[in-house]
Structure 1
Amino acid sequence: MRGLIDLRTGVLIAAVIIAAVALPLFVPTYYVQFASKVLIMGVLAMALNLVVGYGGLVSLCHAALFGLGGYALALLSPKYDAVSFWWSFPAAVALSGIAALVIGALALRTRGIYFIMVTLAFGEMLFFGVHDSKFAGGSDGAFIYNKPSIMIGSWAVLDLDKPLTFYFVILALTVAVVAFLSRLVSSPFGRVLKASRENERRARALGFPVFRVRLTAFIISGMIAGAAGYFSAAQFGFVAPQMLGWHLSATILVMVLIGGMHSVAGPLVGAMILIGLEESLKGLTEHWKLIEGIIVIGIVLAMPSGARRLLDMILGSTDRSSDAKPTAEPGHG
């Protein structure tokens, strides 16, 4: 039975990847760009889910880490020339990672509602720091006139100005993030992270370095969020303080809840559902937010485990929301 489920999962994953690769052949350019936006937000949602779903830590500062990645690209880009991807992308990811290190080192000393409030406070500090800074464009934001260049010598490897090329780059990033996070959460590191979510005191009593594991997960999550922010800024050619606001953090958290917190790719599905709803309802009524809210409430009530429950039903597997006990060797920290 287990082998049959694994086979079905493999077939489903292959079908999804084939469909994603073939998508540009059947839809206009607008929808290719829309799909790129969905994938970028899905990467951000998966980054948040690493600390929320697997670490049990509700963060409201991930939009700030996302925005830092975008602002890094804006500040590093010359006004009338393209910045090199090879060094601007690592710089943006590193900036978000450093910010996550500072925030996590302080916020992880708190628990529960206090952790939420501390991350919210840091997020708002970064928001107003950008909002009130003239070098970053202030409340008006900043434009990025040219997308990053991916070149080897004088040879342009990829042209991100082409929507199709940009889409495949984002698709590759999404697949890489899903593969990386899947490997991470199934490793001894991931099992310790889940154990700290289930029972922190017991994990500490067993000798697991809970603080260090959680901080590492928070930094990894922040770096992935920064990568998503970098490509979001590249796609739209514009950054604004709203990228760092708590409203976006709350929206991403809703994507995680809709998709399923105990699934790596679940938040990606949640992003597709939420952004798809928004796109569909905007053209129908000016009160689309009200209808969207009602639909989201209905989805959460009907599927408390998120969209991943549908996958369990398709594959014929049982709900494994509670993770296995960790088998990693105890450490010190």
Structure 2
Amino acid sequence: MIREGYINAIVLFGFLLIPICALIIEEPYTITLATRAAVLALAAVGLNIALGIGGLVSLGHAVFFGLGGYAMGILAFHAQNYIPVELGPLTINGTKSMPIIWLTAVLVSAFAALIIGLLSLRTTGVYFIMITLAFGQMFFFFSISWSAYGGEDGLSIYVRNVFPGVNTLVPIQFFGLCFTALCVALFVQSRLRASIFGLVLNSARQTPVRAETVGLNPMRLKLLAFVISGAITGLAGALFADLNRFVSPTMFSWQLSGELIVLIIIGGVGRLAGPVIGSALFVTLEHFLGEFTDFWHIWLGLILLLIVLFARGGIIGILTGKDGPHV
């Protein structure tokens, strides 16, 4: 069997090699597909921190993805139309600067995760799943009714935002930004998993009563993991909106939350490169099978079914011969 560290290196190297080869043979659309996969993988990495380490099955993580997207959309919309943002007594001009937009998306998503986590973590099991789903639906229908920013039709951004020293309109350069963000998120997850925080969080996930006995606070640990998870997913939402130059209420949909969970399960729950493998497979099936049928999700469902029945550790679990954490 192959060591997981080698698999992680091979997956990331292969993922980087695809757009480089596409650049050589002048296939810019393939680079765009790779960028989409990188952004979805980044969102799934965020969820994987809550799910894989904390054991929190959230059906509302699209809230943070959507908030990140709308943070980007609103700031860019006001910048391109020279309309100031009115926040009570504060008046803030919009911006096309990616670093500022990313910081805003992370802070907004982290704050939302803090509030949602404080309420949701009072419950466990299926009740936690349902309350996160409820929050997701609340934000979804609010965005539909938010006519100032397009409502159900969404909001278009005509020109991609800017990053110092990078031409973001060049596909390979924008991919580089997204891939770098993904690598940073994977590094954060790896450090969290190996840190004392990751160990005590894993202990709180498996045996919360014993964790409380030794003086740990499982809710506080899970809340911190939930906030970090939401912040990373919010960053992915901002990048996704920039990739498409469009934001819409579908970014808050529960189907997106479910897809992120599916990506993690396919690759391997709690596995470092699990979301990367899952997102790459998802985008590949969506692109190639989607050309022949609108029902390509059937094949994705079949793969998921086989993994759940015969490979609980996902694709990485098959390669390493080890199951992932049980949630």
Scaled by the length of structure 2, what TM-score is found?
0.88
Tell whether the 8 Å contact from 1:80 to 1:146 is kept in structure 2 after alignment: no
Compared with structure 1, are the counterparts of its residues 204 and 273 closer, same or farther at alpha carbon in structure 2 (3 Å cutoff)?
same
Tell whether the 8 Å contact from 1:40 to 1:170 is kept in structure 2 after alignment: yes
Tell whether the 8 Å contact from 2:44 to 2:260 is kept in structure 1 after alignment: yes
Q: Does 1:300 align with 2:308?
A: yes
- Map of 1:269 onto structure 2: 277
- Map of 2:324 onto structure 1: 321
Matches within 5 A, 1:161-180: 161-180=169-188
Q: CA RMSD in A?
A: 2.3
CA deviation vs aligned residue, 1:272-291 (integer Å, no higher than 9, x gap): 11221122211122432333
Counterpart of 2:110 (choices 86, 97, 110) is 97
Tell whether the 8 Å contact from 1:159 to 1:165 is kept in structure 2 after alignment: yes
Compared with structure 1, are the counterparts of its residues 47 and 79 closer, same or farther at alpha carbon in structure 2 (3 Å cutoff)?
same
1:161 aligned counterpart, secondary structure? coil
- Map of 1:12 onto structure 2: 10
- Map of 1:183 onto structure 2: 191
- Map of 1:36 onto structure 2: 35
2:53 aligned counterpart, secondary structure? coil
Q: CA deviation at 1:20?
A: 5.2
Q: Provide the rounded CA distance (Å) in 1 between the counterparts of 2:287 and 2:216.
A: 45
- Map of 1:87 onto structure 2: 100
Matches within 5 A, 1:40-59: 40-59=39-58
CA deviation vs aligned residue, 1:183-237 (integer Å, no higher than 9, x gap): 1111000111111111111111111121111111101000000100000000101
Q: CA deviation at 1:136?
A: 2.2
1:282 aligned counterpart, secondary structure? coil
Compared with structure 1, are the counterparts of its residues 320 and 186 closer, same or farther at alpha carbon in structure 2 (3 Å cutoff)?
farther
CA deviation vs aligned residue, 1:291-331 (integer Å, no higher than 9, x gap): 3322332343332210112331xxxxx526359xxxxxxxx
Tell whether the 8 Å contact from 2:33 to 2:283 is kept in structure 1 after alignment: no
Q: Does 1:25 align with 2:27?
A: no
2:324 aligned partner, one-letter code: S
Q: CA deviation at 1:10?
A: 7.8
Compared with structure 1, are the counterparts of its residues 234 and 11 closer, same or farther at alpha carbon in structure 2 (3 Å cutoff)?
closer
Q: Provide the rounded CA distance (Å) in 1 between the counterparts of 2:307 and 2:292.
A: 20
Counterpart of 1:130 (choices 134, 143, 161) is 143
Tell whether the 8 Å contact from 1:259 to 1:269 is kept in structure 2 after alignment: yes
Q: Provide the rounded CA distance (Å) in 1 between the counterparts of 2:106 and 2:4.
A: 34
Which is further off, 203-212 or 224-233? 203-212
Q: Provide the rounded CA distance (Å) in 1 between the counterparts of 2:253 and 2:39.
A: 17
Which ranges of structure 2 fall in alignment gaps of 5 or more residues?
83-94
Tell whether the 8 Å contact from 2:98 to 2:161 is kept in structure 1 after alignment: yes
Tell whether the 8 Å contact from 1:60 to 1:249 is kept in structure 2 after alignment: yes
Counterpart of 1:112 (choices 101, 113, 125) is 125
Which is further off, 235-244 or 142-151? 142-151
Tell whether the 8 Å contact from 2:11 to 2:277 is kept in structure 1 after alignment: no
- Map of 1:253 onto structure 2: 261
Tell whether the 8 Å contact from 1:72 to 1:92 is kept in structure 2 after alignment: yes
2:310 aligned partner, one-letter code: A
Q: Provide the rounded CA distance (Å) in 1 between the counterparts of 2:217 and 2:119.
A: 16
Tell whether the 8 Å contact from 2:51 to 2:270 is kept in structure 1 after alignment: no
Tell whether the 8 Å contact from 1:278 to 1:292 is kept in structure 2 after alignment: no
1:187 aligned partner, one-letter code: S
Which ranges of structure 1 fall in alignment gaps of 5 or more residues?
152-156, 313-317, 324-333
- Map of 2:91 onto structure 1: none
Counterpart of 1:225 (choices 230, 233, 257) is 233
Tell whether the 8 Å contact from 2:69 to 2:239 is kept in structure 1 after alignment: yes
2:99 aligned counterpart, secondary structure? helix
- Map of 2:243 onto structure 1: 235
- Map of 1:64 onto structure 2: 63
Q: Does 1:193 align with 2:201?
A: yes
1:79 aligned partner, one-letter code: Q
Tell whether the 8 Å contact from 1:123 to 1:246 is kept in structure 2 after alignment: yes
